[in-house]
Structure 1
Amino acid sequence: MEELPGPAPAPLVGNALQFRRDRLAFLTMCAQEHGDAVAFRVGPAALVLLSHPEAVRELLTVKQHEVTKGPVLQRARVMLGDGLLTSEGEAHRHDRRLLQTAFSRQRVARYAHEMLDVAADRTASWAPGRALDLHAETVRTTLTVAGRTLFGTRLDDDVALVSGALRDVLSAYGLLTLPMAGVLLRLPPGRRRVRRGTAALDTLTARLVAERAEHPGTGDDLLSVLLEGTDRRHARDQVVTMLLAGHETTANALAFAGHLLATHPSVQDRVAAEVLEVCGVGGQPSVEDLERLPLTRATLSEALRLYPPSWAMGRQAQVPTQVGDVEVPAGTVLLASQWVVHRDPRWWPEPDSFDPGRFLPPAPDRPRFAFFPFGGGTRQCIGAAFAWTEGVLTLATILARWRLGDVPARRLTLDPLLTLRPRDGVWVLPEPRVAA
């Protein structure tokens, strides 16, 4: 590999300690100080951070058949199995074709009714003037929706179990970034947490699969599709993947959007005015209203820009390859970071400011991959339309009923694991909206 600029590595560990200390700050520093292609090391592993949208496009589309998922997701198979997130090659193509029907435009439109009902039920339980953890609320909301739409069952009573299990599984991220992850995951305390989380998910998914096998239902949901096209073990892996990707990322995005609106009340007033024009105070939007909520969608887009739940994507070169002007040998990990690209001032003036107007017409001329919250290429998130529909309708339902106030004593702290999530919740103060 040609000599690329990058931070000086320490003996043996390379840049691992800097990366582990503050992942987001380290990647930001790499791009700001060393440019669009930066070399660094984590132990013996060679990584290259690509931060130009054109290089990201090439990596995720043109070169997608020369690379596989990065080492972190490869190692995560011990917990997640061979679902869409971790599978490769023909297995991935087969599974994606199999599952695509569950995320068709017609299916998502039908799912929207459940999304709205769940959001209305959940927000109706909030207490005026009492601070609440919005992240905990959006997790409960999106997990309930996933249960009813994707799995054809109610997970309302399993929220604590799933949330705890996913916390345990996601906690392994720090170990998964290390070259000796397989050994470290077998040592306490990481072993205990991972085993506990994996066992809880196994128990839940086994129950869901058994229930659906005994009561086939209408066959419209993802679990029915899986049981018709694969075996139970593989169905388990896909269910675990969808539990993670089908609710965790949307819950995080909604919580971050709520935080941004609570800390920017003038923006919140403008978004709420759009929502109230569509459905009135305390009302509820419909799936037909999605096109009438451009500022609400733009707000979710801006939240995904500033706090992308998928904050970095790794691809490992399987053959010597070239991305842009960068030539790398086989085995090199190529990293594209949404956190870095989404905050690049070349594409986003005043990148740290919250401005949903960036996503409204007339759209500025920026590269397509300056914004890629759901990835790109054949591995783009299969549930992107599902997430957009749920995100916009849920956010509109919240703003039709509540004004979200800030809780200065509870500051937002980020935790970049497999997903970017709030470490200590997202606290807001809900006050009822009243008719003007």
Structure 2
Amino acid sequence: MALLNLLLVVLALLFVAFLGYCLYIKRSHMKYDHIPGPPRDSFFLGHAETFLRITKKDGNVHDKFLEWAEIYGPVYRVNAAHIVFVCVYCPETTKEVLMSPKYLKDNFVHNRAFKLFGERFLGDGLVTAIDHNLWFKQRRIMDPAFSTAYLRGLMGTFNEQAEKLMNKLSEMADSKTDANMHNLVNCVTLDVITKVAFGEDLNLLNNSSPFPKAIETCLKGMVFNFRDVFFQYNPVNWPFVNEVRKACRLLRTTGAQWINKRRLAMRNGEDPPKDILTQIIKCFDKEENTTQEDEEIMLDNFVTFFIAGQETTANQLAFCIMELGRNPDVLEKVKAEVDEVIGMKQDLSYEDLGKLTYLTQVLKETLRMYATAPGTSREVLEDKVINGIKVPGGLTYIFSSYVASRMDKFFKDPLKFDPDRFHPDAPKPYYCYYPFSLGPRSCLGLNFAQMEAKVVMAKLLQRFDFDLVPGQTFDILDTGTLRPKSGVVCTVTHRKYKK
């Protein structure tokens, strides 16, 4: 009898909790439903079913955000259970929020990226840290490793690693083997970040490694962790969940090994390479009262740079090659510039990169159409009026460079690949193009990534002709970052120069 009474009490408490949750969701609807937005899929899950449906079909969720922006305007509401997000594509609000340090990263993104299915992933690293003081401390530590003077000294490594790709492509051209350009540039950018940042030589173009698969698995896991809060509790998903956990452990264990190896060398008086890892360790060792959490944050940043330092650049390069293959007039123009600036030189200098103005435009236009890191978010605590709509405080604002850059109100004929949009004399886009985010939380590795991309593209254009293999799709694969679904498969031939 006592057990039955206890069961009844538990059921009553669960019913009260359920009823309270329903009322909480209803209150949220009443408070925010004056903001335009698409119809919800359900009372409880909001629009989550739409996102999951697209994700499970390997679709691009950001195209749905673009569709809604065209229908509902520059500010609209999205629901996920009791959570409400506001998508904002108003340049004035984008400027106000992203350019100010007072608007912090939001808790939802932080919590979903901090751990993946119980394994620490990005933690409190530079990208995910919410606390401004914690973020500022890390940024101050990282900044010297990305100074212009330091990056100029990396040109030798950029050239060396890009040359390995040229050798691989030469072999493929000679053997008439089709080249999956995304796979190839993915190997190069991972080789670059491990060599430049951590002093490790993986040589992925010639060696197998578990790292590319681990990165892909973690990113895919992060997508499901964001879009399905119940994902890890479904037994059907447990094999994949275990893969994600194993991949997270591999990256963090590798980071700990490389950091400890470098620290030991430094303590033994060895002259360490002047790379990013050495700079980070030196700066951390200068800090007083270093804690275990500081050590974890160093690993958070290792994982952040390990992934972000190669993934988005590889995707940009692959999309760039894809669009050049689809636009032969642009391809011929950028080839002519490369021929004029670098001629037959094997190693590019930092000064050469500054002269490749049209290639710079091509790379910027690539990021306009394919913002490989599509957007960012901030928590806004105060009430605002956006485009005449009162938006109560306490909401997370979502900003998407992918969506804004594909809206015809900001870019005429937005699906046309037109590098002249970024001609030095063309008007600058007003807070509707921000593939590296904006303001104090903008991407620290922007200059690093674009230097690397220019070196790889310039060498490729200098040495080879390439044609897209017919029949492949030009669709976008949404894996947290955006990548070309087909891999950009090309036939590659040696360039024939006129005598």
- Could you tell me the TM-score, scaled by structure 2's length? 0.82
Moved more, 37-46 or 91-100: 37-46
Contact 1:75–1:181 at 8 Å: present in 2 too? no
Quick one: distance in 1 between partners of 2:185 and 2:385?
38
Letter in 1 for 2:471: A
Contact 2:194–2:202 at 8 Å: present in 1 too? yes
Q: Is 2:123 the partner of 1:81?
A: yes
Q: Is 2:118 the partner of 1:68?
A: no
Moved more, 136-145 or 90-99: 136-145
Q: Cα gap change, 1:97/1:365 in structure 2, threshold over 3 Å: closer, same or farther?
A: closer
SS of 2:209's partner is helix
Q: Is 2:38 the partner of 1:7?
A: yes
SS of 2:374's partner is coil
- Which residue is equivalent to 1:180? 229
- Which residue is equivalent to 1:119? 162
For 1:17, which of 25, 36, 49 is the aligned residue? 49
- Which residue is equivalent to 2:451? 389
Deviation at 1:183, TM superposition (A): 5.3
Q: Cα gap change, 1:283/1:225 in structure 2, threshold over 3 Å: closer, same or farther?
A: closer
Kindly report which structure 2 residues correspond to 1:137-286, keeping only aligned pairs within 5 A, or say none: 137-156=184-203, 160-178=209-227, 180=229, 184=233, 188-216=238-266, 217-218=271-272, 220-230=274-284, 231-281=294-344, 283-286=346-349
Quick one: distance in 2 between partners of 1:96 and 1:430?
41
Moved more, 351-360 or 404-413: 404-413
- Which residue is equivalent to 1:38? 76
Contact 1:298–1:357 at 8 Å: present in 2 too? yes
Quick one: distance in 2 between partners of 1:212 and 1:223?
8
Deviation at 1:228, TM superposition (A): 2.5
- Which residue is equivalent to 2:23? none
Moved more, 47-56 or 72-81: 72-81
SS of 1:123's partner is helix
SS of 1:67's partner is coil
- Which residue is equivalent to 1:411? 473
Moved more, 265-274 or 99-108: 265-274
SS of 2:218's partner is helix
Q: Is 2:141 the partner of 1:98?
A: yes
Letter in 1 for 2:242: R
Which ranges in structure 2 are unaligned for 5 or more consecutive residues?
A: 1-30, 55-59, 116-120, 285-293
* CA-to-aligned-CA distance 1:203-249 (integer Å, 9 cap, x gap): 32122112211223436222112223335432211110001111111
Moved more, 89-98 or 167-176: 167-176
Quick one: distance in 1 between partners of 2:463 and 2:81?
51
SS of 1:335's partner is strand
- Which residue is equivalent to 2:382? 320
Which ranges in structure 1 are unaligned for 5 or more consecutive residues?
A: none
Q: Which has the larger radius of gyration?
A: 2
For 1:303, which of 343, 357, 366 is the aligned residue? 366
Deviation at 1:316, TM superposition (A): 2.9
Quick one: distance in 2 between partners of 1:373 and 1:429?
30
Contact 1:403–1:433 at 8 Å: present in 2 too? yes
SS of 1:49's partner is strand
Quick one: distance in 1 between partners of 2:446 and 2:126?
14
Quick one: distance in 1 between partners of 2:482 and 2:311?
10
Contact 1:6–1:40 at 8 Å: present in 2 too? yes
Quick one: distance in 2 between partners of 1:228 and 1:281?
40
Quick one: distance in 1 between partners of 2:99 and 2:356?
31
Contact 1:114–1:149 at 8 Å: present in 2 too? yes
Q: Is 2:82 the partner of 1:51?
A: no
* CA-to-aligned-CA distance 1:238-268 (integer Å, 9 cap, x gap): 1100011111111111111011111212211
Deviation at 1:426, TM superposition (A): 2.0
Deviation at 1:61, TM superposition (A): 1.6
Quick one: distance in 1 between partners of 2:49 and 2:231?
19
Letter in 2 for 1:307: Y
Q: Cα gap change, 1:427/1:49 in structure 2, threshold over 3 Å: closer, same or farther?
A: same
Contact 2:375–2:399 at 8 Å: present in 1 too? yes
- Could you tell me the TM-score, scaled by structure 1's length? 0.93
Deviation at 1:153, TM superposition (A): 2.3
SS of 2:277's partner is helix
Contact 2:375–2:437 at 8 Å: present in 1 too? no
Deviation at 1:323, TM superposition (A): 6.2
Contact 2:75–2:386 at 8 Å: present in 1 too? no
Moved more, 143-152 or 10-19: 10-19
Give the RMSD, CA atoms, in angstroms: 2.2
Contact 1:118–1:141 at 8 Å: present in 2 too? yes
Quick one: distance in 1 between partners of 2:434 and 2:245?
33
Quick one: distance in 1 between partners of 2:144 and 2:47?
43
What percentage of residue pairs aligned between the two structures are identical? 27
Contact 1:16–1:41 at 8 Å: present in 2 too? yes
Contact 2:97–2:103 at 8 Å: present in 1 too? no
Q: Cα gap change, 1:18/1:408 in structure 2, threshold over 3 Å: closer, same or farther?
A: same
Moved more, 327-336 or 77-86: 327-336
